Structure 1
Amino acid sequence: MKNRTIRMMCVVLAAGLLAGCGKKADGDSGKENNAGASAQLGFITGTGGLGDKNMNDASYEGIKALESKGVKINVVEPEEKSDYENMQRLFADTGEYEGIFCISFEQTDALSKVAAEFPKQRFVLVDSETEADNVTNVLFRAEETGFQLGVLAGLLEKENALPLLNEEQRIGFVGGSDSPIINQFAAGYKAGILLVNPDAAVDIAYVGSFSDPSKATEIANGLYENGCDIVFACAGGSGLGVFTAAEKMNGYAFGIEVNQNDNAPDHIIASGLRLWDAVMSDVGKKLIADELESGTLTYGLAEKTLEIGYEGSNVEVSDALKAEVDTYMEKVISGDYKLPKELEDVDRFLSEQ
């Protein structure tokens, strides 16, 4: 049904909207700024779509807040990566959108092509970068989120601070794909763990999809069986499968992007919150006001847009341990720590401390 829905939405974009505007011969959108009640935004989710309880949902909540100002938002939900280029082009072809939001690094290659075809169309690429005069890239420093959760995991293991922890000092990570942005999370995570707990081992595995929770459950089961008692679910909609495994295997997990603790409150210790809703609302307001420039906007601990979310979890982490985690984060904010962005740089980071 979802594939059929996508095709139908594409037809509406291509036929209905295009008929009302007309395609420009030079491939430009021909769009003028229609700020206020007449403004329209396109929103292309990452695979997994709305309802992922992750980045798609969080980003959409931020943009959806603009509806109260009369902004119209048209959402499409791709099933496969191959859908991205067509959807981006169909939105741009209408010439009716002040901005087109492309969620997920998986859209990068497609947008590199489409943005060049429509130089007057403003695009916003979320969680990745591409160079173009009509593209604004919006990034969180993923290594900082990974580092937050890594320090927490390392200290919990070192102090044997939770009842379900074993004595193996082994910690897991499940990524949606073996890609630069996911490995940026993993690099910060591993660096945080080993900085506070050099005796720990870190097992890293990948699902190969952000919308396959069943496979994620299988992978996480293997990590728990191998001795990991804390697993970071960094896999979009697939990450829900890690929580299923945590409940089944009597282990612990971390969530990501939004507060996912209520998915398994007795087993999810905390979630690495990236405040996409606040950031995307701010970006959307600037776009509508014609104040958004091309280039890259980055957010992190210093901007107070990253947090560890404990609310909704039944796993008790002591105030003293939370405060200890915060002392490490202060060194990131001050610049004392230059966190690794790639797994290959973790050893370098540790040797410098």
Structure 2
Amino acid sequence: MAVYLVTGAAGFIGANYVHFLLEQEPDAQVIAVDYIGVAGNVANLDQVRERISFEKADIADFAAMAAIYRQHRPDFVVNFAAESHNDRAILGPSSFMRSNALGAQVMLECSRLMPVKSHLHISTIEVYGELPTAEEWFTERSPLNAKTPYSAAKAAGDQMVRAYMATYSDMNIRLTHCANNFGPYQLPEKLIPLAVTHVLRGRKIPVYGDGLQSRDWLHVADHCSAVHQVLHAELDPISRRPRQQIPDGCRSSTSPPATRSRTWRLRASWRSSSVWIPRSGSSMSRTARTTTAATSSTRRNSRPNSGGDRPGSSSPRWRRRCAGTATTVTGGRPCWPTKVNSRSTGDSCRPAARR
């Protein structure tokens, strides 16, 4: 029986993941950790309270977290715990730095001293700052450009995660970046529930700035499904991973040359409630770094670039090959994506044949 340690378990995404996890693995032992701050609500776990072990603790408290590790000996760790409201971060940035940066390091250190099978850190696309007008979405190559105390604290945590990846190669660490989530258990101060509650009460919907901003949205159920896939993806040790050329159809237009690790990007659409994940058995990298971004109805599949049919080319053949491909592979064996939604599993997305 697998033992899962889920932090931030009484929060919005964490609570949804606990429910999802117990649906997928009814016999799993779940250790739900939360210090019940502003965003935490233990009532979010009422329906499964008898099936979990709840621990009230602060992830930035090393002694408390080490005691939980020693008591329960988790196999898998998923760190959702974070302070996550931009406006609150402006009023009190210190608590954000403690949870999002120091907390991330404490969790990693506990997993290092008391080894686990897989440690997954959940981050956000907020660390990339504003999306340039010429770009349609963030990619794994987007530079960190945090501009608020919240996103800067998350970026600091991300850097610590990457430092542990590089320093402690025997650890199995994974990192994901998701778009804005919406769904059950979300605080009413967030944009979508705020707009809905205002409409239900006959109030005007608040508009921020000039109202021209654009945001990506991902349903929390799709996010939880993707997180679980990343957590259990089959990975080879970095030292055993051969350098191989990747088929054009599997390489994103933004992929860098083949390197010693591979990068996995997930995209999800709130319109279709679907998420792109690798087919079962596909090989992934130890970093398994994931950027989850919402797709738009019209997708730009290539970037202007000289070079004929090379990745990044604007040729029709390359555009046909890239259409529908949402996985970036930058080294090792190819990984074909499969589209999964709440109703059925689609066919593998392979390169389109030449016409």
TM-score by length of 2: 0.34
Higher relative contact order (CA 8 A, sep 6+): 1
TM-score by length of 1: 0.34
Larger relative helix fraction:
1
